[in-house]
Amino acid sequence: MTSHSCLKLFGVFLLALALPDRGIGDEEHSHASELQRQSWTFTPPFGTFDNAQLQRGYHVYRDVCAQCHSMRLLSYRNLGEPGGPEFSAKVVETLAAQAQITDGPDDKGQMFQRPGRPSDRFRSPFPNDQAARAANNGALPPDLSVLAKARSGGPDYIYALLMGYRDPPPDFTLAPGMHYNEAFPGHQTAMPGLLRDGMVGYTDGTEKTLDNYAKDVSAFLMWTAEPKLEERHKVGTRVMVFLLVFAVIMYLAKRAVWVPLHRRRDGAKQSSSS
Amino acid sequence: MAHPSTYRPASGVAKWLDERLPVARVMHDQFMVYPTPRNLNYWWTFGGILTFMLVAQIVTGVVLAMHYIPAEDRAFDSVERIMRDVNWGWLLRYAHAVGASMFFLAVYVHTFRGLYYGSYKAPREVLWILGVLILLLMIATAFMGYSLPWGQMSFWAVTVITNLFSSLDAVIPGLGTTLVQWIWGGFSVGGPTLNRLYSLHYLFPFIIAGVVGLHIWALHVPGNNNPTGINVKSPAETVPFHPYYSIKDGFALVMFLLLFGALLFYAPNLLGHADNYIPANPLQTPPHIVPEWYFLPFYAILRAVPDKLLGVVTLLASIGVLFFVPWLDTSKVRSTSYRPIYKWFFWAFVVTCIALGYLGSQAPDGWYLFFGRVFTIYYFAFFLVVMPVLGKFERPRRLPGSITEAVLGHEASAAKPREREAVA
């Protein structure tokens, strides 16, 4: 095999790798490609979440988003786990207790309300999808647990969406009860732009601006979608370093095994040429 | 390759076992001293990589199955529970999902290598056919596995693919519908469908493992092909598999794992589709239903045909035609390196497959559809016209007399100084 065809085969190999990237629903990417990429603390390969940002993001979520959106895959205990907002155990208990959870049935067969515990799932704002639709003009607010992975663009998209509320252009017909949003596919969303400057209290001195709210809650939603991200990056570094060292060792071992064979071949070449 | 056994039992126990069940002898003869052509390049390392990937998929899959719940209303959440609450669950699931992509990447490289070097030609036809069978089984397994998270893309992929069978209604009215309902276990894709897909997804890898055993057996009878495509003429042209190829395959595997690791740890969802993180909803069709990247070329072929039944037939034929490749190619020469004209058609075929992959990801209209059809026609023309016809007319380049001559003649001037350095 010539080195030329070797190169060509390698090119195919690379193309095959590039292919899937282009293959994933380009239509959806068309709005994602216009998305402005924000700088996040959690980008690979070494990124970690900013605990303070996630804590602020949780407050934005709880005070604003959670009025309509459920987050059924998360439990209050998750808020204290490593690699997340890392609220202290005491704070987690307090945060859980602020929610009224329906429990039961008790000894008499009755359901009852009690303050939440860390082991409880996040309280959903509506008992079922129908109730959620009834309260939201027929639209169902999606569950937020894995939203950052369920939208192409992830946290960049969520940020753009929260920042994307505008007055509609004059030639744009907006359906009744809908809101104009630059980032939303089709630009019409049932979700009103509720976030305003100063709406959520921050206690750590961060400026209470819409921009910060959008950023913090997007980061928070990335964590809820990918709670093991930090662990993944950390394990990844170790595995990749191990594999790199292992590759060098394997290469040297491979060469050590093959060199005597090549040497014999070289000898054969010399005798055949002389 | 058929060779006299060199196994000598080292102890009384080994001798006792050898007379009753000679596993140690088979291992020794087939995986230690097995004579392998000494000129295999790195494209030959993908067989070992594939074996590793099959084992990795089975191991991660068996553990995932301990935590997964194949129920319509719980499947999605159980996968998320694996991601959140199962120890190392995120690693297992991402390794399994990214692993499927890596498995297909390796199998496609392996298949193209076989095509390029004529590894399907006599006496390796059965070896090739078993390989195509493994590819088919892999496609079925991957399709069923993709359904299990029961996200939007899972659900709608199952809906689209199972509905292909309804095209049989055009042959016998009612046949397709009956068949589809039998496959679904109901009148639509639902819980019973998920259950059977899960059951078969667990079964198929072990069938694959069995056919892989036969594939390796069928390899070890005639022995490896090699980049020259010339038969091995003397024992001096071979080296024992261990340590020469065990170490070379091992090095290639580690390089492959670096790529696997990069995707797994830093971009585990890159090859997936965002919509599959939305729980399945039978009432809401996603704007674009696209399969995983490794099925996109076949998807493009399916959609290139305007008639539903013919589309399905063409789809099946696109893989089915591979079974006949040993007899479609009429050239006496195995390796494409010695076929100056065929070489161009081969690379055009590779480009075609990649182009079909791209087109499969796009909506089938306008130029996309037009090119989808052009490339589909070439896909089949390559097998049905180029292979049989060109083999009769092409004048191959002069073949070297032997593997030894090929290696010495070809690298004597250029490669020697470099190798000297390596030795020094």
Q: Does A245 touch chain B (CB under 8 A)?
A: no
> Could you tell me which of A147, A94, A85 has the C-alpha nearest to residue A118?
A94
pLDDT at B421: 40
**B146 close to B290: Cβ distance less than 8 angstroms:** no
> Is A235 within 8 Å of B91 when comparing Cβ atoms?
yes
Q: Residue B37: enclosing H or E segment and its boundaries?
A: strand B35-37
CB contact under 8 A, B257 and A27: no
Q: Which residues of A touch B362 (CB under 8 A)?
A: 26
Q: Which of A73, A149, A272 sits opposite B269 (nearest CB)?
A: A149
CB contacts of B417 in chain A (<8 Å) are: none
What is the number of CB-based contacts under 8 A between chain A and chain B?
165
Share of chain B above pLDDT 90, in %: 92
pLDDT at B418 over 90: no
Give the tokens for residue B45: 């390392």
Give pLDDT, residue A28: 42
- Min CA distance, A196 vs chain B (Å)? 29
A112 has a chain B CB within 8 A of its CB: no
State whether A246 and B254 contact (CB < 8 Å). yes
Q: Tokens 């309300």 map to which residue?
A: A113
The answer to whether residues B371 and B312 touch, using CB atoms and an 8 Å cutoff, is no
List pLDDT tens digits, range B140-170: 999 999 999 999 999 999 999 999 999 999 9
A265 at B interface, C-beta within 8 A: yes
- Asked if A232 lies within 8 A of B91 by C-beta distance, the reply is yes
Cβ–Cβ under 8 Å, residues B288 and B157:
no
The CA distance from B261 to the nearest CA of chain A, in Å, is 7
Partner residue opposite B83 with nearest CB, options A15, A228, A265: A228
Give the bridge partners for A101, in sequence order.
A114
From the list A44, A73, A261, the residue facing B77 with the nearest CB is: A73
Please determine, for residue B375, whether its predicted confidence score (pLDDT) is greater than 60.
Answer: yes
Residue B272 and residue A9: Cβ atoms within 8 Å?
A: no
| Cβ-nearest to A8 among B244, B274, B347 | B347
| Tokens coding B344 | 């161009």
State the nearest Cα–Cα gap between A223 and chain B, in angstroms: 11
Cα B5 from Cα B33, distance rounded (Å): 9
Is the interface score ipTM higher than 0.95? no
Identify the residue among B293, B342, B344 best suited for mutation to test binding to A, counting A beta carbons within 10 A and taking the highest: B293
Q: Would the CB atoms of B105 and A240 count as touching at under 8 Å?
A: no
CA distance A41 to chain B (A): 14
Average pLDDT, chain B: 94
Instruction: Locate the chain A residue with the closest alpha carbon to B351.
Output: A12
A chain contacts of residue B288, beta-carbon cutoff 8 Å: 25, 27-28
pLDDT of residue B147: 97
Residue among B43, B271, B274 whose CB faces A150 most closely = B274
The neighbour count for residue B55, using CB atoms within 10 Å, is 12
**Angle (nearest 5°) at CA B151 between B146 and B153:** 65
**pLDDT category of residue B419 using cuts at 50, 70 and 90:** very low
Contact A27 B288 (CB under 8 A): yes
Q: Can you give the pTM of this predicted structure?
A: 0.91
Cβ–Cβ gap A24/B361 under 8 Å: yes
For B255, the closest of A232, A247, A266 (CB atoms) is: A247
Q: In Å, how far is A29's CA from the nearest CA of chain B?
A: 10
> What is the average pLDDT across B214-239?
96
Establish if A20 touches chain B: CB-CB under 8 angstroms: yes
Task: State phi, psi for A189 to the nearest 5 degrees.
Answer: -130, 150
A128 vs B: CB within 8 A: no
Using one digit for the tens of pLDDT, what is the confidence trace for B272-312?
A: 999 999 999 999 999 889 999 999 999 999 999 999 999 99
Q: Do B272 and A22 touch (CB under 8 A)?
A: no
Nearest CA to B339 out of B392, B296, B286, B303 is that of B392
Give mean pLDDT, residues B334-357.
97
Low-confidence residues of chain A: pLDDT under 70? 1-33, 264-274
Return the closest-CA partner of residue B352 out of B312, B318, B309, B390: B318
Q: Which among A142, A228, A257 has CB closest to B244?
A: A257
The answer to whether B357 contacts A19, with C-beta atoms less than 8 Å apart, is yes
Which band of pLDDT confidence, cut at 50, 70 and 90, is reported for residue B64? Answer: very high
Provide φ and ψ at B308, rounded to 5°.
-65, -50
Q: What is the pLDDT of residues B108-123, one digit of tens each?
A: 999 999 999 999 999 9
Q: Which residues contact A118 (CB under 8 A, 6 or more apart)?
A: A75, A76, A77, A80, A89, A92, A93, A96
Whole-number pLDDT of residue B3: 80
Quick one: average pLDDT of B6-25? 96
- For residue B416, the chain A residue with the least C-alpha distance is A266
| Residue A184: closest CA among A244, A142, A130 | A142
Using alpha carbons only, give the angle B2, A264, A245 rounded to the nearest 5 degrees: 85
